[in-house]
Structure 1
Amino acid sequence: MNINDVKKRAHSIPLTSPTYSKGPYRFVDREFLIVTYRTDPEKLRELVPEPLEVDMENPLVKYEFIRMPDSAGFGDYTESGQVIPVTFRGRRGAYVHAMYLDDHAPTAGGREIWGFPKKMGHPSLTVDSDTIVGELRYGKMLVATATMGYKFEPFDASAAKATLEAPGFLLKIIPHVDGSLRILELVEYHCEDVQIKGAWSGPVGLELFSHALAPVKDLPVLDIVSGTHIIADLTLGFGRVVHDYLADSTPQAAVHVAREGVEEASVLA
């Protein structure tokens, strides 16, 4: 295989049998169970990277279970994790703090393309009689459970759409071959072409359990604010670099750094 052929074929490891497709990545009947809760503001300050800012007066976390039965290029899988409301240059969005999946292709693709903080786990989202139930296990150990009354009462579709369309932020980390950092970037992404098929709220419960390698309890549940159940079709858009940590030694500076081949125009939670 000559050098030009290598360049043409390369988009995922391994070269001759890519782990995932090139996209776009369209999700059909994507189902969310989102539990919003208040946590320790000092914990948020410790875990959210600058230049993102957290609301210390209203320290919220969204614990999510997401069922994806029809995902172009990625297949049928489920994920679970924590998303933190933040602001970036005055714009509201959400920082994806932790994600656990049961499928290798979206785990690899999410990490390599965007920088999603994905690890392998055993999440599930099911209906038990009159209750929708989310559960996350890491290995055999129970890490998180969430419950909500199934389609208990309607939730405003426009509010659900706004939630899914809000900008998301990721910390992309890729080491060099000598173990040093080669890429350390803040990436912004958006969900596009969102079509809400149903949205509900209702009584909700959430429990987090301590685990050394799945430390979701590091952001403890102090008070549950709300629960939302959403079914939607959407496209996961590609991202853009909004801050390059290795190019800027002053983390407070709100400097937009555009990599070669990355346009300034906004794209894609």
Structure 2
Amino acid sequence: MTIPLDRIKSMPAFSPYFPMPPARYRNAKTQMVYFRAAESAIGRVLPDCFELPTDPVCMAIGLTVPWSANYGAFDESALSVTCRYEGEEGWFTPVAFLNSKSSIPAGREIYGTPKVWADFEIGFAERVMYTNTYVAGTSILSVRSTMHREATPDEMPASKHSWRLKAIPRADGNGMDVLQLIDGADVSSDREVHVCRAGDGVVQFNPSPIYDLSDFTPTEYLGAYYVESDFTENWGRIVRDFLED
């Protein structure tokens, strides 16, 4: 008996490489540092379906997950920038770095998150959490932050949109097979926050021949947050299919 096509979710068809959502996470430790950078740097990584906001903000994230139901333990870092789409403001993530063999293809194929492989050094030095992201033997993104002030999740910068651009080329080379705007703002549910703290943070970007973010050198820092939480990751929402326009 063969496999019905409407039952195939991913490859290999008989045993998919990663489970489908929902995915449960426990005790994820996340640091977020907010800062401003040159508008030319932000514009360089923004697809032209977006516009720069009046006062753009950047966010560097360091994340370590000791347990997840679908992907096991892994580390992650990412850069997000504020932008506007059809008059509404939200976050766009131009790149995310991970050391997870299954979370990378899952994030790219399901949500369009631009995940790429990296090595990590994540830990705590007294009251400072640090995340060092290594590509080709060099740290291209370093995040360091403190957590010495009490905080609540409501105090953290929020946006009702968290956009990704899902892009998959055609196998015959004639353009794109998938080009969709995805919103992941409502992906997480059943969130339980165990720790929420605030502090100060710094980020450092070093030049790289690939995934170069060195022009994002901060011009101003806007604070940092640290969160430990459990949550469930669900399906995203397709905002627009550009190939159907």
Matched, 1:89 2:86: yes
Percent of matched pairs sharing the same residue: 20
Matched to 1:168, the amino acid is: S
Matched, 1:115 2:104: no
Counterpart of 2:153 in structure 1 is 157
Matched, 1:197 2:191: no
Structure 1 gaps, min length 5: 249-269
Work out the CA distance in 1 between the residues paired with 2:160 and 2:190. 12
Counterpart of 2:145 in structure 1 is 148
Offset of residue 51 of structure 1: 3.1
Matched to 1:92, the amino acid is: E
Q: Is the 8 A contact 2:21 2:235 kept in 1?
A: no
Offset of residue 3 of structure 1: 4.6
Q: Is the 8 A contact 2:31 2:226 kept in 1?
A: yes
Matched, 1:170 2:161: no
Work out the CA distance in 1 between the residues paired with 2:129 and 2:101. 25
Offset of residue 96 of structure 1: 1.2
Work out the CA distance in 2 between the residues paired with 1:114 and 1:102. 18
Matched to 1:48, the amino acid is: L
Counterpart of 2:103 in structure 1 is 106
Q: Is the 8 A contact 1:84 1:95 kept in 2?
A: yes
Work out the CA distance in 2 between the residues paired with 1:103 and 1:29. 17
Offset of residue 73 of structure 1: 0.7
Matched position secondary structure for 1:104:
coil
RMSD, matched Cα? 1.9
Work out the CA distance in 1 between the residues paired with 2:152 and 2:87. 25
Aligned mate of 1:12, from 5, 10, 13: 10
Counterpart of 1:2 in structure 2 is 2
What's the CA shift string for 1:10-66, capped at 9, x where partnerless?
A: 2222223321112211211111111111011133233212433322x4221101111
The two structures have a TM-score, normalised by structure 2, of 0.91
Relative to structure 1, the CA distance from residue 159 to residue 36 in structure 2 (aligned partners, 3 Å threshold; closer, same or farther) is same
Matched to 1:28, the amino acid is: R
Counterpart of 1:260 in structure 2 is none
Work out the CA distance in 1 between the residues paired with 2:28 and 2:201. 20
Counterpart of 1:254 in structure 2 is none
Matched position secondary structure for 1:75:
coil
Tell me which of the two structures has the higher relative contact order, counting C-alpha pairs closer than 8 angstroms and 6 or more residues apart. Answer: 2
Matched position secondary structure for 1:227:
strand
Q: Output aligned runs, 1:23-42, within 5 Å.
A: 23-42=21-40
Tell me how many residue pairs correspond in the alignment: 242
Offset of residue 134 of structure 1: 1.2
